[in-house]
């Protein structure tokens, strides 16, 4: 396992699943990532080839996506953090944070150079405050202020 600016590339994950969407995320990144220079958010969007009617991946899609994600995370772990994955409407959107989008694209190309064409698109935006990550934590009931702990059924944080 690598690290990016002293932050482990992998850690604890949580899953929030609805009928037509799913979010998998690391709740433990704040406040460590702030000031770490990971100001660019890169979204790697995988378009499912055979999504379910709900918009979630089929078993066939899931197997392919899992293999793809493992590959690119391995190539990117020294300079980008996979913070969260949003799945909906037939797409799996892997949200990475990095300090260098040029390096990120070079590493993706290296990872895929001997692979067939993949159904992906990349998009980037400056997000120095990790606004999208914070919005995802809030939308899923995970509180950054509570150290990433989910509220229990009474609204109190779990110990």
pLDDT in tens, the chain (159 residues): 577 877 887 788 999 999 999 999 999 898 889 888 999 999 999 999 999 999 999 999 999 999 999 999 999 999 999 999 999 999 999 999 999 999 999 999 999 999 999 999 999 999 999 999 999 999 998 864 434 444 433 333 333
Q: Is residue 158 part of a domain?
A: no
According to the model, what pLDDT value does residue 17 have?
92
Q: Is residue 66 part of a domain?
A: yes
Residue 100 belongs to domain with CATH number: 3.30.70
User: Residue 18 is part of which domain span?
Assistant: 7-139
Beta-bridge mates of residue 126 = 40
According to the model, what pLDDT value does residue 4 have?
83
According to the model, what pLDDT value does residue 22 have?
95
Q: Is residue 146 part of a domain?
A: no
According to the model, what pLDDT value does residue 6 have?
74
Q: Is residue 50 part of a domain?
A: yes
Q: Is residue 71 part of a domain?
A: yes
According to the model, what pLDDT value does residue 80 have?
95
According to the model, what pLDDT value does residue 159 have?
34
Q: Is residue 67 part of a domain?
A: yes
Q: How many domains does the chain have?
A: 1
Q: Model pTM?
A: 0.87
According to the model, what pLDDT value does residue 143 have?
67
- What's the burial of 93, exposed, middle or buried (CB within 10 Å: 0-12/13-18/19+)? middle
Q: Is residue 59 part of a domain?
A: yes
């Amino acid at each position: 396992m690598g690290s990016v600016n002293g932050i482990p590339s992998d850690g604890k994950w949580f899953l929030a699943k609805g009928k037509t969407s799913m979010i998998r995320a690391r709740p433990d990144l704040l406040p460590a990532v702030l000031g770490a220079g990971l100001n660019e958010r890169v979204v790697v969007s995988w378009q499912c080839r055979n999504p379910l009617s709900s918009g979630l991946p089929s078993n066939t899609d899931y197997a392919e996506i899992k293999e793809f994600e493992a590959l690119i995370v391995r190539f990117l772990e020294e300079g980008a953090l996979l913070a969260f994955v949003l799945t909906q409407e037939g797409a799996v959107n892997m949200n990475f944070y990095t300090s260098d989008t040029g390096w990120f694209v070079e590493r993706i190309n290296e990872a895929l150079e001997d692979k067939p064409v993949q159904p992906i698109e990349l998009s980037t935006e400056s997000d120095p405050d990790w606004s999208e990550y914070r919005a995802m934590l809030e939308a899923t009931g995970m509180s950054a202020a509570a150290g990433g702990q989910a509220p229990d059924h009474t609204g109190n944080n779990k110990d």
